[in-house]
A and B are shown apart, each in its own frame.
Chain A
Amino acid sequence: AQTVTQSQPEMSVQEAETVTLSCTYDTSESNYYLFWYKQPPSRQMILVIRQEAYKQQNATENRFSVNFQKAAKSFSLKISDSQLGDTAMYFCAFMTTSGSRLTFGEGTQLTVNP
């Protein structure tokens, strides 16, 4: 079974600064997909970024980028130029290519301070 671990329950950052959220996972699969979801106070889970494990290149979406270290089974999310609207719970999630369901970590509550 796959597990996803987010070791930082809470983090805070000043507006305009950069913050990195950590995620590690455990799997015996060689190919899989990783995701970061954002859940603001409105509660809707929003997909932030997606990474395919067989791709060496780290995924990037505007101010959001990942540092994917396959050997270390690490998948961290970097948010650059943090904005107040980035305040949310962030979840790391995993899915195998054989179609296993999305497995989530416990989440990291990020607060961006003005």
Chain B
Amino acid sequence: ETGVTQTPRHLVMGMTNKKSLKCEQHLGHNAMYWYKQSAKKPLELMFVYNFKEQTENNSVPSRFSPECPNSSHLFLHLHTLQPEDSALYLCASSLRPDSNYGYTFGSGTRLTVV
């Protein structure tokens, strides 16, 4: 049990589809994050949420739409994606955004856009 659960594990979608990624944690953390992991590139931070409020958006295209209904759940809504959006999407959480004990990660959703 990782503490951070992501579903689905794999997702294949067409460029015109709409899908959502889900992340859930019951660690009592208040900060949650979406990262994009592409081959041979550093992890890219996409969004940061603190107590359900978005505090950071790193110039992510609007075809990615995050939602954080409470401190335990985080979604990433996807629509009209491009093939270059194919990647591993990782969710993470921490007690606070400035927590220096690192983040707890989920196992990611492997997204393929066809």
Q: Does B107 contact A (CB under 8 A)?
A: yes
Whether A104 lies near B42 (C-beta < 8 A) is yes
Is residue A99 contacting chain B, with contact meaning CB distance below 8 A?
A: yes
Q: Could you count the A-B residue pairs with CB atoms below 8 Å apart for me: how many are there?
A: 53
- Identify whether the interface residues of B are mostly helix, strand, loop, or mixed: loop
Chain B's nearest CB lies how many Å from the CB of A27?
14
The contact of A50 among B33, B101, B105, B110, by CB within 8 Å, is B101
With A and B bound together, what is the CA distance between A101 and B50 in angstroms? 12
- Of A41-49, A60-68, A69-77, A80-88, the one contacting chain B is A41-49
A110: Cβ under 8 A from any B Cβ = no
Chain B residues with CB under 8 A of A19 = none
Q: How far is the CB of B25 from chain A (nearest CB, A)?
A: 13
The closest CB in chain A to the CB of B3 belongs to A44
Interfacial chain B residues near A44, Cβ < 8 Å = 2, 105-108
For B103, list chain A residues within 8 Å (CB).
45, 102
B41 surroundings in chain A (CB, below 8 A): 106
Docked-complex contact B42 and A4, CB < 8 angstroms: yes
Option from A45, A98, A106 in Cβ contact (under 8 Å) with B98 = A98
What residues of A have a CB within 8 angstroms of the CB of B104 in the complex? 47
Q: In residues 1-60 of chain B, which contact A (Cβ within 8 Å)?
A: 2, 33, 40-43, 45, 48, 56
Distance in angstroms between the alpha carbons of A46 and B4 in the assembled complex: 12
* B-contact bits for A13-46, CB 8 A (1 contact / 0 none): 0000000000000000000010101000011111
A97 touches B107 (CB 8 A): no
A90 within 8 Å of B by Cβ? no
Contacts of A47 in B (CB 8 A): 102, 104
Residues of A within 8 A of B2 (CB): 44
Q: Is the CB of A97 within 8 A of B100?
A: yes
Chain B nearest CB, measured from A46 CB (Å): 8
Contact of A101 among B48, B96, B107 (CB under 8 A): B48
Per a CB cutoff under 8 Å, which of B40, B45, B102, B108 touches A43?
Answer: B108
Chain A residue contacts of B76, Cβ below 8 A: none
- Do A99 and B98 touch across chains, with their CB atoms under 8 A apart? yes
Which chain A residues lie closer than 8 Å to B45 at the CB level? 101-102
